[in-house]
């Protein structure tokens, strides 16, 4: 009886499924023509849609915003032009 492999990483599980589908050939996985398959973008074992990393300098520190004085906002509510 064959031992079951437990893959905890979803990308590795997708890669294993693609290898199984293509007869175990990594080259065939790369050349896979089935673009209607939901797993096709992930077949190489990498995420084709990586998250963008935020720069640490882009956002002010929480301590800076907590101590900043509040500025009054200008709000205009007008339903009709006078």
Delimit the domains of the chain by residue range: 1-42
Instruction: State residue 4's pLDDT score.
Output: 73
pTM of the predicted model as reported, rounded to 2 decimal places: 0.53
Q: How far is CA 37 from CA 13, 18, 42, 78, 81, in A?
A: 15, 10, 10, 53, 56
Distance CA 22, CA 8 (A): 22
Per-position pLDDT tens, the chain of length 82: 566 777 678 999 999 999 999 999 999 999 999 999 999 999 988 888 888 776 655 555 565 666 666 677 766 666 766 5
What is the torsional sign of CA 5, 45, 28, 17? positive
């Amino acid at each position: 009886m064959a031992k079951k492999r437990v893959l905890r990483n979803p990308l590795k599980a997708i890669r294993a499924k693609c290898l199984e589908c293509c007869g175990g050939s990594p080259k065939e996985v790369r050349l896979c023509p089935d673009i209607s398959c939901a797993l096709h973008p992930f077949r190489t074992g990498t995420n084709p849609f990586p998250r963008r990393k935020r720069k640490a300098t882009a956002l002010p520190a929480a301590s800076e915003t907590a101590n900043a004085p509040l500025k009054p906002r200008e709000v205009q509510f007008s339903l009709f032009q006078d």
